[in-house]
């Protein structure tokens, strides 16, 4: 196969579709306000569904409100040709960027449209996941978590937005039924595999001028709320040597978190204190109580727990030297996800064919792929975003990068859709025999 040309990509149609969707929920400053399950999110889902019907695809919404777009292949229903799944999301953070989520959805959708030009044996299904961002309900990746049984309808009642609407009610309002996903779950489990494209949301590809990032692991966050308690006192009357200042103790913890993150950077740890509240803080009070929110991420469970243990040791030293009480409470403890090597291999092969530069990398941010990986062989790849800026209206992706992503998605899809299972089995058998001979 030769490199896919720009003409083949039908670039004008792609841009028109992307811009039509990106206009929905765009605010006056050009930022995106398309919160999960909200009005604009729903309008975007409807427009994409219309586009899909027009393209001749089948469309349905599942019990979680995820949109399913299917293009049937010649061997649809033949267990030797299970369907290949693609997916990403269309909701955004408040005042977010145009490309986070939508770019992956559009790329998958257009790769499916371009299949007009090639024989398609396998069925392709695009899943547009709902509420990937945690901004509205303080709960991320709701659509994919429900599919993977990592959430139930009952649990969704506890996640409430600022207007008091629960995630459960938001889904019911749209006609969904979050516990009724059995058939969809089975469809994913029986599939050939899943592929997501996303913008990197970090600076690595941009800095290294690399076209594609092929993700091997998705890091999982460990999150804590740390309560530091001392004694509130009069800032004028309380002498320095009599103080139990909770904020200066918290400051030491913040620096310890940063130090540990730097110490373990080579082992892919990042550690952040992103929020610090001084309870009843005022300029004339020695702080008596502080709450810190800590987010520690890595790709190896053992390394994460080593860092957490060290943080605990540092905190008890700080507590005794400053006469404070320090209480960490776990908010979440997720497991890092290793993605599928064989699926990644398809991406590598097609990068080489299309002369795209690539590197293997890990993802610090969470994605819907984490939950698809619980159900089927899954792959995730990134395209660079300018300066690594994301979750911000300044988010930008160069046309070249968009085209590279589409090129890779399309040619990978063509490869997988035309795979002959019999040939693949024979090839695997041949590889096995050659390997055996080599070791005899």
* Binding-site ranges for Zn ion (CB under 5 A): 100-101
- Considering the complex, state which of residue 100 and residue 229 has its C-beta at the smaller distance from Zn ion: 100
- Considering the complex, state which of residue 137 and residue 192 has its C-beta at the smaller distance from Zn ion: 137
Q: How far is the CB of 392 from Zn ion (least distance, A)?
A: 13
- Considering the complex, state which of residue 31 and residue 83 has its C-beta at the smaller distance from Zn ion: 31
Q: How far is the CB of 132 from Zn ion (least distance, A)?
A: 5
Q: Are 45 and 90 in contact (CB under 8 A)?
A: yes
- Considering the complex, state which of residue 62 and residue 100 has its C-beta at the smaller distance from Zn ion: 100
At 133, list the tokens. Answer: 């961002």
Q: How far is the CB of 146 from Zn ion (least distance, A)?
A: 17
Q: How far is the CB of 161 from Zn ion (least distance, A)?
A: 19
Distances (CA, A) of 17 to 47, 69, 105, 136, 394: 10, 16, 11, 26, 21
- Considering the complex, state which of residue 35 and residue 315 has its C-beta at the smaller distance from Zn ion: 35
Residues whose CB falls within 8 Å of the CB of residue 203, separated by 6 or more in sequence, listed in order: 387, 388
- Considering the complex, state which of residue 167 and residue 308 has its C-beta at the smaller distance from Zn ion: 167
Give the gyration radius of the chain's Cα atoms.
24
Q: How far is the CB of 101 from Zn ion (least distance, A)?
A: 4
Q: How far is the CB of 89 from Zn ion (least distance, A)?
A: 6
């Amino acid at each position: 196969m030769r490199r896919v040309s720009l003409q083949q990509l039908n670039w004008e149609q792609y841009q028109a579709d992307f811009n039509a969707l990106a206009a929905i929920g765009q605010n006056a400053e050009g930022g995106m306000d398309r919160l999960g399950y909200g009005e604009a999110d729903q309008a975007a889902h409807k427009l994409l569904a219309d586009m899909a019907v027009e393209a001749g695809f089948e469309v349905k919404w599942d019990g979680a409100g995820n949109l399913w777009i299917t293009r049937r292949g010649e061997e649809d229903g033949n267990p030797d040709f299970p369907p290949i799944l693609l997916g990403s999301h269309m909701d955004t953070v408040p005042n977010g960027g145009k490309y986070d989520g939508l770019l992956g959805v559009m790329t998958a959708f257009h790769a499916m449209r371009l299949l007009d030009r090639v024989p398609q044996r396998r069925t392709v299904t695009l899943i547009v996941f709902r509420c990937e961002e945690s901004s509205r309900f303080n709960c991320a990746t709701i659509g994919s978590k429900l599919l993977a049984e990592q959430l139930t309808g009952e649990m969704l009642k506890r996640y409430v937005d600022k207007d008091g609407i629960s995630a459960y009610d938001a889904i019911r309002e749209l006609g969904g039924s979050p516990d009724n996903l059995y058939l969809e779950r089975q469809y994913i489990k029986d599939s050939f595999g899943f592929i997501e494209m996303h913008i990197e949301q970090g600076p690595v590809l941009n800095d290294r001028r690399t076209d594609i990032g092929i993700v091997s692991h998705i890091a999982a966050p460990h999150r804590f709320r740390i309560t530091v308690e001392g004694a509130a006192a009069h800032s004028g009357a309380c002498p320095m040597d009599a103080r139990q200042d909770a904020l200066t103790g918290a400051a030491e913890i913040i620096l310890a978190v940063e130090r540990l993150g730097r110490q373990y950077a080579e082992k892919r740890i990042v550690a952040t204190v992103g929020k610090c509240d001084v309870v009843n803080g005022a300029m004339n009070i020695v702080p008596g109580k502080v709450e810190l929110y800590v987010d520690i991420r890595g790709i190896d469970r053992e390394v994460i727990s080593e860092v957490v243990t060290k943080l605990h040791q540092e905190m008890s030293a700080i507590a005794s030297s400053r006469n404070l009480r320090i209480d960490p409470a776990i908010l979440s403890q997720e497991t890092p996800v290793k993605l599928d090597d064989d699926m990644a291999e398809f991406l590598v092969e097609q990068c080489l064919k299309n002369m795209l530069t690539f590197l293997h990398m890990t993802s610090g941010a969470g994605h819907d792929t984490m939950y698809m990986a619980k159900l089927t062989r899954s792959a995730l790849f990134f395209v660079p975003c300018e300066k690594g800026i994301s979750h911000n209206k300044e988010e930008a992706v160069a046309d070249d990068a968009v085209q590279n992503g589409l090129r890779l998605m399309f040619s990978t899809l063509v490869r997988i859709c035309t795979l002959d299972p019999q040939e693949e089995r024979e090839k695997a058998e041949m590889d096995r025999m050659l390997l055996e001979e080599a070791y005899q």
